[in-house]
């Protein structure tokens, strides 16, 4: 019997046009461009300024671009899994709202929370529905309006995060490409190292929680940094060892974009050069669940069928994971004038 793999057969992303540069942040908190660049690698981030738009809007835009690019009828989507740390609202799920925005009337849909590892977790979940043969088209979305929970008076966190969304389509593959292996982890003992204290059932919103700024991200930067360096590299190495991959066999590393130093350490452990590392943290900062699909979308034109790529993430929880994918397709032929274009609020097609 031929085994069914889940393959990524299309990818797209959407980023707001407005930029928040290091020069802007220098005016908001006590920091410098040099410090931010040296300690994190971030130069600017995108911010969704429209107060009437949230994570669902960005996820829907990324999905619509994917449908356009692949000429997909929304009614052929079976399932939507939306990874987000900044849901449109507490409930219903952001995936339900996106489903309405993009017209996937036949699909069921739910959110998945895994903080910065949410997207890789969602891929791992979506993969199961394809491999069992019960679903033919699973849309996996990562979308985060981080600016809605960033404290722009806290220099330890406001330098890092940005807004954005990405979406991939998973479909069955029987030719040997697709998601070939993955390892997922979590350790809730790390929950107070990176979290949003209030707004949940433990600490519902009160005047006090608002006054104490408890609805914003709190992070013990150094502790998270040390764990991230260790775990992202560990799981990337695990993927290589388990699948008998040497450095020369890897086409690309797709790392979560939390800090350039963490990414460099992971690439060093894998023994690969910077030319094989998808790195765009300088332009977008940490978009949480959206970093991986944004990278895949930006590098899509360079990916070839059969390429070995390793995805790796670390995030709040703690959560972390790695995935080995044999890429399923060569770049989509399209108008050369649009090559390398990243869709923004004013660009409706890739």
Q: Enumerate binding residues for ligand UT7 (CB under 6 A).
A: 31, 35-36, 39-40, 116, 155-156, 159, 221-222, 224-225, 228, 258-259, 262, 286, 314-315
**Which residue number has the CB closest to ligand UT7?**
221
Closer CB to ligand UT7, 258 or 325, in the complex: 258
* Nearest by Cα to 315 from 240, 267, 242, 262: 262
Closer CB to ligand UT7, 40 or 143, in the complex: 40
The DSSP result for 199-247, as a single string, is: SSSSS---HHHHHTTTTS-EE-HHHHHHHHHHHHHHHHHHHHHHTT--G
Residue 321 has phi, psi (to 5 degrees) of -170, 160
The radius of gyration of the chain's CA atoms, rounded to the nearest angstrom, is 19
C-alpha distances out from residue 233 to 96, 263, 287, 296, 332, Å = 35, 9, 20, 19, 31
- Residue 143 Cβ vs ligand UT7, minimum distance, rounded to whole Å: 15
* Nearest by Cα to 179 from 72, 315, 276, 323: 323
Closer CB to ligand UT7, 153 or 206, in the complex: 153
- Residue 127 Cβ vs ligand UT7, minimum distance, rounded to whole Å: 23
215 is catalytic: no
Closer CB to ligand UT7, 76 or 222, in the complex: 222
- Residue 310 Cβ vs ligand UT7, minimum distance, rounded to whole Å: 18
Q: How far apart are the first and last CA of the chain?
A: 38
- Residue 325 Cβ vs ligand UT7, minimum distance, rounded to whole Å: 21
Closer CB to ligand UT7, 109 or 266, in the complex: 266
Output the six-digit token pair for 220. Answer: 């013990």
Given the residues 13, 22, 96, 116, select the one marked as catalytic: 116
Closer CB to ligand UT7, 58 or 107, in the complex: 58
116 is catalytic: yes
Greatest alpha-carbon pair distance for the chain in Å reads 62
- Residue 208 Cβ vs ligand UT7, minimum distance, rounded to whole Å: 26
* Nearest by Cα to 223 from 314, 125, 108, 128: 314
Given the residues 22, 135, 256, 259, select the one marked as catalytic: 256
Rounded distance, CA 16 to CA 316, Å? 24
C-alpha distances out from residue 156 to 35, 39, 133, 201, 217, Å = 11, 11, 46, 27, 10
- Residue 2 Cβ vs ligand UT7, minimum distance, rounded to whole Å: 38
71 is catalytic: no
Strand partners of residue 130: none
| Residues labelled as active-site residues | 116, 256, 286
């Amino acid at each position: 019997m031929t085994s069914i793999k889940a393959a990524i057969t299309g990818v797209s992303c959407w980023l707001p046009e407005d930029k928040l540069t290091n020069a802007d942040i220098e005016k908001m908190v006590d920091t410098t461009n040099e410090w931010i660049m040296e300690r994190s690698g971030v130069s600017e981030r995108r911010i969704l300024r429209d107060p009437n738009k949230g994570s669902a809007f960005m996820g829907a835009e990324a999905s619509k671009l994917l449908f356009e690019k692949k000429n997909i009828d929304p009614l052929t989507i079976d399932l939507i899994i939306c990874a987000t740390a900044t849901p449109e609202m507490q409930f219903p799920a952001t995936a339900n709202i996106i489903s309405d925005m993009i017209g996937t009337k036949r699909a069921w849909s739910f959110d998945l929370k895994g903080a910065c590892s949410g997207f890789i977790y969602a891929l791992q979940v979506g993969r199961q529905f394809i491999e069992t043969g019960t679903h033919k088209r699973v849309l996996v979305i990562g979308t985060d309006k981080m600016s809605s929970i960033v404290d722009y008076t806290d220099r330890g966190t406001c330098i890092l995060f940005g807004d954005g969304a990405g979406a991939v389509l998973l479909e069955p593959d029987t030719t040997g490409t697709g998601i070939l292996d993955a390892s997922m982890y979590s350790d809730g003992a790390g929950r107070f190292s990176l979290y949003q204290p209030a707004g949940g059932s433990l600490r519902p919103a009160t005047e006090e929680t608002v006054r104490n700024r408890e609805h914003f991200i709190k992070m013990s930067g150094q502790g998270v940094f040390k764990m991230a360096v260790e775990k992202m590299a560990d799981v990337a190495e695990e993927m290589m060892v388990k699948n008998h991959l040497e450095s020369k066999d890897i086409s690309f590393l797709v790392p979560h974009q939390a800090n350039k130093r963490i990414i460099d350490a992971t690439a060093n452990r894998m023994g690969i050069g910077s030319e094989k590392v998808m790195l765009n943290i300088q332009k977008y900062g940490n978009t949480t669940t959206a970093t991986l699909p944004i990278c895949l979308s930006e590098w899509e034109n360079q990916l070839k069928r059969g390429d070995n790529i390793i995805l790796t993430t670390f995030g709040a929880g703690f959560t972390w994971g790695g995935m080995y994918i044999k890429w399923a397709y060569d770049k989509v032929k399209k108008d050369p004038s649009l090559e390398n274009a990243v869709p923004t609020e004013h660009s409706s097609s890739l």
